[in-house]
Amino acid sequence: MPKNEPAPVPAQAPGTDLAAELRASDADRERVADLLRDAYAEGRLTADEHAERIGIAYAARTFGELEPLTRDLPSHPGPIRHNLTKPPLDAPAPLGPPPLPAPRAEASTMVAVFGGAARKGRWRVGSHLKAVAVFGGIEIDLTDAVFESPEVVIEAYSVFGGVEIRVPENVSLHGGGAGVFGGFEVREQTSADPHAPVVRVKGAAVFGGVEARPRRGKALKEWVRRRLDG
């Protein structure tokens, strides 16, 4: 019986771009679709052009079919395949995530009168913070803050208003206050790490509310002990 011969590999036609014939993944198609949505939002594409190109993008099988869809958009310079293909195995490893922005310096007092105030994101929290809400609301989010002290004392006072405090789930939270025709609630917890920062909340709520609790799923990554030890 004749031996099974391997199927011949089709010869490359002159001028064929093999990179354009590479198969695109669902993630590749979605990236192109995101670029087209941005272009439509910026007014670079009409509604009909956007709809047409989105349809082609999701039906595309290769990079060669995706490339023309963003070639005339300044938001995506260069061949699309160079941005969508994976790096070669021998490519140098990335140096790591970009450095975080410097934490913001904030005042140690927050006041909201007939309005609102919020403090969140990457900001520097010292050893003491005072929040006063009168016919207003204050939000204090420590989940991404940079702790500059192993212990933070927050004085919270609410008069016909509210103060909401959120802390990382892996720090200790203690305290309590007075509630006069209002509520003052601190959901206390003690971290398993004895070196974890401690947040203490005290104050009063009059015809208002103060609430302090951990935010599940948000953990402090930069421990105070590491910062103090250098």
Of the given ranges (39-48, 161-170, 191-200), which has the lowest mean pLDDT?
A: 39-48
pLDDT at position 100: 64
Q: How confident is the model at residue 10 (pLDDT cuts 50, 70, 90)?
A: very low
Give mean pLDDT, residues 18-44.
80
Residue pair 34/58 in contact by the 8 Å Cβ criterion:
no
How far is Cα of residue 222 from the mean position of the Cα atoms in its chain?
A: 17
Which residues make Cβ contacts (< 8 Å) with residue 132, sequence separation at least 6? Answer: 109, 110, 111, 112, 138, 157, 158
pLDDT at position 82: 46
Higher-pLDDT residue of 49 and 41 is 49
How far is Cα of residue 64 from the mean position of the Cα atoms in its chain?
A: 33
Higher-pLDDT residue of 67 and 212 is 212
Could you give the 3-state DSSP secondary structure of residue 31? Answer: helix
Rounded distance, CA 57 to CA 32, Å? 7
pLDDT at position 6: 44
How does the average pLDDT of the chain come out, rounded?
Answer: 81
Pairing of strands 209-215, 162-168: parallel
**Is the confidence at residue 76, as pLDDT, over 80?**
no
